[in-house]
């Protein structure tokens, strides 16, 4: 098997600048039935996806497959485009809000396809999905298409997800609101990859893209979980000079970095690298010398976005470099520890981060299953219950990460270890950490919140969950 | 027994339930109107629980308007009991030493 090859084109010495999105779409040769892509580095501040699709719809182009790296609440206008037949198929890491409810209610003819970040990079490289035109919003670029994540109006830091699209899409259109003098270096997306450039007034809302700095949680439950998780890490043999870790998003997961920092200072241990979703606490560790390298596929806050431009050891990586299972070694495969959140965890340690307990899509696959499978030790952090919904349950609503890739579950009321990790059971039983069976956690949760009535689904499949290797892991059904 | 006045207890905060009680002007039956974020999983259970507390106090033809934001059973019972006591003008008369804990 070989990598999918992008069409070879030769620069004609003409300007790549196009005066309008409409003209760029025309020049790209986009036709009904084709596949287009976007990235989600702008998160809730993304203007480009909705804007481009509006122009495409106005040109009468229909039946498109869209493969954004992910979708958010801000993409609610896609509902009308699905109804109008402009969008026929969606491949994404996740979706939220009204669009997610609309999909969950079964209004799309074809089920959407959910892929992890590593799985998306794999599918694109393997040519399982072929991108005809990539529309990539970039905070800054020059007239040739050298683009970067820190611009005058908007800042998103790493462009790691977009890098894959720029490399494999037949036609690459950059959309920017900060056109700078040639050359814009260092660049995340390079000139030899880019067909056309469109300058518009605003590509995104800086407020929605990244917050100033990631705030520490004050929730005592989350802090207790984070403290336990940090104690699990420091009790294991991989915690030694040069170790590596990643923390996912979510209050408890992010707070682990804080406790880990204290332990590292006390023990005089420095980490070799941290990976992820980079946030301010990790940048602090880099600048204080407690972490030697940061690998950044996505900058979660402005501190991280600024750091990538100024710290030599803060490295921008593509989604393929981050977590693609079908290459000669993604960075995730070098992880000693990954700390991940969960909406639900079941007795078999399967994790759901995709659907709410009422069966409605409300999350994203992200790098969850990629890092869980890759890291030596996968630690899930979650409260035993949220509101009156149990987190630790008999069977998860949707499997995103298979239980055989999960090692430890840390809750505020006990820590459960996957029975297949007898080494961890032996090591952690010697500590004074509250080790319990996962069955005991399920029972305890049910005693507190009561037994939930089973939710009903209909036969129609609304989403197919692909595992990182492309196999079908689960399906989401229309909610009853 | 009938309520002496309209009464309420609880907040709209998460993990709480807001209970509003009034006499049913039209009928003699009790009515429970529940809005809950966990309707699918716990809606029937919560309506049953509210109904049990109402019955325990022997109230008749009462209308309950409840807005649940994921409260646990202990919270739901406490909020319903408080609202009832207020509606019966018995607020602050509770004998804490003999409160029955199930």
pLDDT in tens, chain A (480 residues): 899 999 999 999 999 999 999 999 999 999 999 999 999 999 999 999 999 999 999 999 999 999 999 999 999 999 999 999 999 999 999 999 999 999 999 999 999 999 999 999 999 999 999 999 999 999 999 999 999 999 999 999 999 999 999 999 999 999 999 999 999 999 999 999 999 999 999 999 988 887 766 778 899 999 999 999 999 999 999 999 999 999 987 888 889 999 999 999 999 999 999 999 999 999 999 999 999 999 999 999 999 999 999 999 999 999 999 999 999 999 999 999 999 999 999 999 999 999 998 899 999 999 999 999 999 999 999 999 999 999 999 999 999 999 999 999 999 999 999 999 999 999 999 999 999 999 999 999 999 999 999 989 999 999 999 999 999 999 999 988
Do A166 and A276 share a domain, yes or no?
no
Does residue A178 sit within a domain? Answer: yes
- B1/A contact by beta carbon, under 8 A: no
Among the listed residues A453, A139, A112, the one whose alpha carbon sits nearest the alpha carbon of residue B47: A453
Q: Are residues A353 and A244 in the same domain?
A: yes
Reported as half-sphere exposure (CB side, CA atoms, 13 A), residue A220 has a value of 1
DSSP SS3 for A147:
strand
Checking if the pLDDT of B18 tops 70, the result is yes
Would you call B44 and A357 a contact, using CB atoms and an 8 Å cutoff?
no
End-to-end CA distance of chain B, in Å? Answer: 23
List pLDDT tens digits, range B40-84.
999 999 999 999 999 999 999 999 999 999 999 999 999 999 999
Interface residue B40 vs chain A (CB under 8 A): yes
Residue A197: give its domain's CATH number.
Answer: 3.40.1080.10
| Mean pLDDT in residue range B25-32 | 86
CB A357 within 8 A of CB A319: no
- The span from the CA of A446 to the CA of A459, in Å, is 28
ipTM attached to this prediction: 0.87
Q: Does A358 sit within 8 Å of B40, measured CB to CB? A: yes
pLDDT of B85 reads 93
A314 and A175 housed in the same domain: no
**B70:A388 CB<8 A:** yes
Give the residue from chain B lying closest to A388, CA to CA: B70
Specify whether the CB–CB gap between A287 and A281 falls below 8 A. Answer: no
* The two structure tokens encoding residue A153: 């109006």
Strand stretches in chain B, DSSP E? 7-9, 17-23, 31-36, 62-68
CB contact under 8 A, B69 and A387: yes
- Residue among A38, A71, A117 at smallest CA distance from A332: A117
Question: Which of A152, A175, A209 is the last residue in one of the domains?
Answer: A209
* A461 vs A228: CA distance, rounded Å: 39
Q: Which two tokens stand for residue A185?
A: 């270096």
pLDDT of residue A472: 98
Taken in order A239, A240, A241, A242, the sign of the CA dihedral is negative
Distance from CA of A477 to the nearest CA of B (A): 16
Is the domain of A310 the same as that of A409? yes
Cβ of A388 within 8 Å of Cβ of B44? The answer is no
A294 plus A168 within the same structural domain: no
Q: Which of A199, A144, A168 is nearest to A39 (CA)?
A: A168
CA distance A202 to A136: 13
Cβ neighbours of B37 in A, within 8 Å? 387
Give B-chain residues touching A449 at CB under 8 angstroms: 72
pLDDT exceeds 70 at position B97? no
CB contacts of A450 in chain B (<8 Å) are 42, 45, 72-73
Residue A171 and residue A260 in one domain: no
Asked if the structure places residue A44 within a domain, the reply is yes
Contact: B72, A388; criterion CB under 8 Å:
yes
Is residue A122 located within the same domain as residue A234? no
Residue A278 belongs to a domain? yes
Q: CATH code for B7-92?
A: 3.30.230.10
Of A357, A386, A448, the CB nearest to B41: A357
Q: Tell whether A153 and A269 lie within a shared domain.
A: no
Please give the Cα distance from A440 to A112 (Å, whole number): 36
Chain B residue with the nearest C-alpha to that of A357: B41
How far is A202 from A51, CA to CA, in rounded Å? 10
Give, in degrees to the nearest 5, the angle at Cα A94 between A88 and A98.
Answer: 70
Closest CA to A91 of A463, A373, A476, A440: A463
Q: Do A194 and A227 sit in the same domain of this protein?
A: no
Q: Nearest CA to B10 among B80, B101, B90?
A: B80
Q: Which residue has the tokens 């409810």?
A: A101
Domain boundary among the residues A186, A209, A232 is at A209
Q: Does the distance separating the beta carbons of B72 and A448 come in below 8 Å?
A: yes
pLDDT value of residue B67: 98
Is there a contact between A233 and A337 (Cβ–Cβ < 8 Å)?
yes
Residue A12 domain flag: no
On chain A, the residues whose CB falls within 8 A of the CB of B69 are 387
Q: Does residue A142 form part of some domain?
A: yes
* Residue A480 lies inside a defined structural domain of this protein: no
Structural domains counted in chain A: 2
Q: Which residues of B touch A453 (CB under 8 A)?
A: 40-45
- Cβ within 8 Å, pair B69-A357: no
Spatial separation of the C-alpha atoms in residues B96 and A469, rounded to whole Å: 61
Chain A positions touching chain B (beta carbons under 8 Å): 357-359, 386-389, 448-450, 452-453, 455
Q: How far apart are CA A13 and CA A356, in angstroms?
A: 52
Q: Strand locations in A79-150, DSSP E?
A: 87-92, 112-114, 133-138, 140-141, 147-148
Structural domain boundaries, residue A85: 17-209
Q: In chain A, what residues touch B40 (CB-CB under 8 Å)?
A: 358-359, 453, 455
| Contact check, Cβ <8 Å, A452/B72 | no
E-state strands within A110-264: 112-114, 133-138, 140-141, 147-148, 171-176, 196-199, 243-247
Q: Do A453 and B70 touch (CB under 8 A)?
A: no
Reduced to 3 states (helix: H, G, I; strand: E, B; else coil), residue A431 is coil
B13 touching chain A per CB within 8 A:
no
Q: How far apart (Å, rounded) are the C-alpha atoms in residues A48 and A67?
A: 14
Question: Would residue A85 count as lying in a domain?
Answer: yes
Verify that A271 and A345 share a domain, yes or no: yes
Q: Domain coordinates of chain B in residue numbers?
A: 7-92
Q: Are B20 and B3 in contact (CB under 8 A)?
A: no
Same domain, A156 and A269: no
**Contact assignment for B41 to A455 by CB distance below 8 Å:** yes
Q: Which residue, among B12, B38, B40, B52, would best test binding to A if mutated, counting the most A CBs under 10 Å from its CB?
A: B40
Taking the C-alpha atoms of residue A395 and residue A439, their distance in angstroms, rounded to an integer, is 12
């Amino acid at each position: 098997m070989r990598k999918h090859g992008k069409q070879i084109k030769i620069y004609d010495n003409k300007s790549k600048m196009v005066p309008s999105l409409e003209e760029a779409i025309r020049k790209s040769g986009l036709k009904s039935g084709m596949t287009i892509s976007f990235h989600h580095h702008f998160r809730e501040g993304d203007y480009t996806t909705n804007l481009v699709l509006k122009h495409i719809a106005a040109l009468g182009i229909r039946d498109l497959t869209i493969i954004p790296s992910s979708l958010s609440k801000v993409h609610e206008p896609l509902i009308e485009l699905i109804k109008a037949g402009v969008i026929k198929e969606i491949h994404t890491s996740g979706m939220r809000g009204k669009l997610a409810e609309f999909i969950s209610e079964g209004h799309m003819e074809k089920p959407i396809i959910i892929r992890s970040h590593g799985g998306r990079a794999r599918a694109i490289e393997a040519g399982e999905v072929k991108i005809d035109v990539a529309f990539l919003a970039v905070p800054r670029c020059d007239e040739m298409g050298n683009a970067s994540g820190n611009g005058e109006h908007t800042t998103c830091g790493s462009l790691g997800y977009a890098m894959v699209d720029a490399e494999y899409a037949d036609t690459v259109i950059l959309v920017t609101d900060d056109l700078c003098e040639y050359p814009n270096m260092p660049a995340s997306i390079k000139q030899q990859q880019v067909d056309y450039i469109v300058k518009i007034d605003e590509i995104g809302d800086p407020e929605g893209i990244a917050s100033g700095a990631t705030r520490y949680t004050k929730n005592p439950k989350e802090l207790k979980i984070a403290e336990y998780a940090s104690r699990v890490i420091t009790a294991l043999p991989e915690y030694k000079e040069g170790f590596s870790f990643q923390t996912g998003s979510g209050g408890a997961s992010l707070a682990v970095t804080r406790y880990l920092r204290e332990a590292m200072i006390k023990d005089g241990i420095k980490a070799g690298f941290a990976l992820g979703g980079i946030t301010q606490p990790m940048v602090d560790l880099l600048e204080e010398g407690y972490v030697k390298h940061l690998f950044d596929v996505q900058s979660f806050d402005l501190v991280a976005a600024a750091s990538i431009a100024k710290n030599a050891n803060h490295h921008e990586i593509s989604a393929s470099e981050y977590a693609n299972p079908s290459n000669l070694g993604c960075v995730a495969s070098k992880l000693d520890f990954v700390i991940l959140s969960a909406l639900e965890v079941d007795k078999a340690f399967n994790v759901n981060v995709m659907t709410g307990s009422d069966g409605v899509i409300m999350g994203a696959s992200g790098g969850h299953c990629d890092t869980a499978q890759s890291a030596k030790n996968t630690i899930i952090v979650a409260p035993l219950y949220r509101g009156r919904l149990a987190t630790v349950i008999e069977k998860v609503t949707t499997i995103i990460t298979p239980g055989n890739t999960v090692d430890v579950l840390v809750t505020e009321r006990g820590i459960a270890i996957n029975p297949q990790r007898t080494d961890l059971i032996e090591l952690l039983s010697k500590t004074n950490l509250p080790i319990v069976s996962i069955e005991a956690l399920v029972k305890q949760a049910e005693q507190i919140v009561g037994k939930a009535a089973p939710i009903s689904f209909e036969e129609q499949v609304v989403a197919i969950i692909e595992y990182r290797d492309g196999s079908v892991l689960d399906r989401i059904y229309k909610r009853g | 027994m009938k309520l002496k006045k309209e009464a309420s207890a609880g907040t709209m905060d998460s993990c709480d339930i807001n209970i509003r009680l009034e006499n049913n002007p039209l009928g003699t039956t009790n009515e429970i109107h529940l809005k809950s974020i966990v309707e699918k999983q716990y809606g029937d259970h919560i309506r049953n629980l509210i109904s049990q507390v109402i019955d325990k106090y022997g109230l008749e033809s009462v209308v309950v308007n409840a807005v649940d934001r994921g409260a646990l059973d202990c919270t739901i019972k406490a909020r319903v009991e408080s609202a009832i006591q207020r509606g019966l003008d018995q607020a602050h008369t509770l004998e804490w030493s003999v409160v029955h804990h199930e």
